[in-house]
Amino acid sequence: MAEFDEIPTPCRDFTIEHLEGETILYRHSLKKMIYLNESAAVVWTLCDGRRTVADIVDLLVKNYPGVADTVAADVKEVIADLTREGALETEKPKKSI
C-alpha cells in the first residue's frame, strides 16, 4: 500500500482514453488496458509526479467533503493497484541538504 509521503508518477507509455463513458489506461507497447472507475480516474489524473499521496488526499477531501472518512484509504488502494498493474511508480521525496 502506498505511503502518504510517496510521490506517484505515471509510467510513460500509458495513455488515458475515454470511450463511450469508460475511462481506460492503455499501454501501447504491451497492448494492455486497465479500466478505471470514476474515482480511480480522478486519482490517476492527480498522480503527476509532483504531488505526494497526502497532497492528493488533501485535494480530494477539500473538493469532496462528504467522503473525507474513506478518501485516504481509497486513494492508497487505487495507487497500490495501479502500481501493481505497472501504470504508476512511487518514490519517496528526495531530502534536500
* Topology of domain 7-85, CATH: Arc Repressor Mutant, subunit A (1.10.10)
- Average pLDDT score over the chain: 90
DSSP, collapsed to helix, strand or coil, labels residue 30 as coil
Alpha-carbon distance of 11 to 19, in angstroms, equals 21
**Is the CB of residue 61 less than 8 Å from the CB of residue 71?**
yes
Residue extents of the structural domains in the chain: 7-85
State the pLDDT at residue 96. Answer: 62
State the pLDDT at residue 76. Answer: 95
Q: Which residues contact 69 (CB under 8 A, 6 or more apart)?
A: none
- Hey, how many other C-beta atoms are within 10 angstroms of the C-beta on 94? 7
Kindly report the CA angle at 2 between 71 and 93, in degrees rounded to 5? 110
Q: Report which of residues 94 and 55 the model is more confident about.
A: 55
